[in-house]
Structures are given as C-alpha cells and as structure tokens.
Amino acid sequence: MSATTRIAFSVGLAFTAAACGSSEVPAKQMAKSESAIRAASEVGAQDNPQASLHLKMAKDSYTQAQAASKNGEQETAERLLEKAEADAELALVLTRKEQSAAKAAAEQAKEQGQPNQ
C-alpha cells in the first residue's frame, strides 16, 4: 500500500468514524431527558393542569428527538432533548409548588381548627 493510499484510507476511516459518532444523539443526553420526564410523572405532574401541559410537551419533544436522531438529524435531536428536559423540569417545579401550597393550606387550616378541604 502506497503512502497516498494509506493517507486516503486513514482519512476515509476518520470521516466514517465521525459520521457514525454523530448519527445518533448521545445516550447520556437521552437518558437525562427521559429521567426528567419520569421525575415529573412520579410527582403527579399529570394531575396539575399547568404542569400536565408541560409534561405533554416534554414527552412530545422527546418523541420528536428520537425520530430526528434516527433520521441522522443530531442537532435537531439535541435541541429537542434540551427542550424536553426543560419542559419536564418546569412541570416538576409547578407540581411541587402546588403540592407545597396545598400542604401549607392544610397545615394552616389544622392550626385554626378547621377541617381539611
């Protein structure tokens, strides 16, 4: 094999490796978004109208990211995963805020000797 052939072969391998490496979104990023969605679901985001909307948007973005990744659209997939994670985190915060307010109201009612509503 001549030096030119070896260089061409090496360059070809490098491009192939780069293409394969970028054709799918990193599993870590997918897992992070999926984890945020799961956390929001586990605290009951689906039971809070506002949080439920953000949870649905997170799930939709995650599904779209999977499709984009399969189509080789890594940048789009990464952007959608970031959006999914942000929406899921917002759903989680909204749910916790509502739960905290409900708990505070229940404690206040208990202190005042009123039955919980």
pLDDT in tens, 105-114: 788 888 887 6
Q: What is the mean pLDDT of residues 72-96?
A: 96
Separation CA 44–CA 99 (nearest Å): 10
Per-residue pLDDT band at 115 (split at 50, 70, 90) = low
Separation CA 101–CA 58 (nearest Å): 24
Q: Does domain 3-111 have CATH number 1.10.8?
A: no
Full-model pTM? 0.70
| pLDDT value at residue 16 | 42
Cα–Cα distances in angstroms (integers) from residue 105 to residues 16, 50, 99, in the given order: 61, 20, 10
| pLDDT value at residue 113 | 78
Q: What is the mean pLDDT of residues 61-80?
A: 95
| pLDDT value at residue 77 | 96
Per-residue pLDDT band at 2 (split at 50, 70, 90) = low
> Do residues 45 and 55 lie in contact, with contact meaning Cβ atoms separated by under 8 Å?
yes
> Do residues 52 and 91 lie in contact, with contact meaning Cβ atoms separated by under 8 Å?
yes
Separation CA 44–CA 10 (nearest Å): 53
Separation CA 14–CA 7 (nearest Å): 10
State yes or no: pLDDT of 5 exceeds 70: no
In a 13 Å sphere around the CA of 11, the CA atoms on its Cβ side amount to 6
